[in-house]
Amino acid sequence: MKTVVQRVSRAFVEVDGDKVGRIGRGLLVLAAFKTGDDDGVLRWMAKKISTLRIFEDDDGKMNRELAEVDGGILVVSQFTLYGDCRKGKRPSFVESAPPDVAEERYARFVEILREETGCDVETGVFQAHMNVVLENDGPVTVVIEKESE
């Protein structure tokens, strides 16, 4: 599993002009899945994301977790994170899970985030053409990857 996590002041997703998910302060998580990603990988990623100390404390240092700032999470499925651009002009997506597997893993990951964090967790729409609008706070962006064991 691979994620791109962005600290945001606000973010939302539009599908066909309708806002389908939105958060204020929190984390925008772009998430990609491989076929072998199991619940252990999803739980590890959920814990890692929710406990990242990337929010500023009173001294301006990145010392606070999501729960400490009462933040939300917006999760958007992003299979293109596994796009391999090393050869040719078109990315190869052979590492990405097929759509049926990825959709199930995406839904499960969102469920785990809701269970584990207690935070407001919003989503995009799987396989829809989405406009993701965000205000990156910092900017702070990190990439997190976890291989199946």
- What would the pLDDT profile of 100-110 be if each residue is shown by its tens digit? 999 999 999 99
**Can you spell out the DSSP letters for 80-145?**
GGG-B-SSSSS-B-TTSPPHHHHHHHHHHHHHHHHHHH-S-EEE--TTS--EEEEEEEEEEEEEEE
Model confidence pLDDT, tens digit, residues 84-136: 999 999 999 999 999 999 999 999 999 999 998 889 999 999 999 999 999 99
Q: pLDDT at position 51, please?
A: 96
At position 99, the amino acid (one-letter code) is P
Q: pLDDT at position 92, please?
A: 94
% of the chain beyond a pLDDT of 70: 100
Q: What is the pTM of this model?
A: 0.95
The whole-angstrom separation of Cα 127 and Cα 76 is 10
Tell me the catalytic residues: 78-80
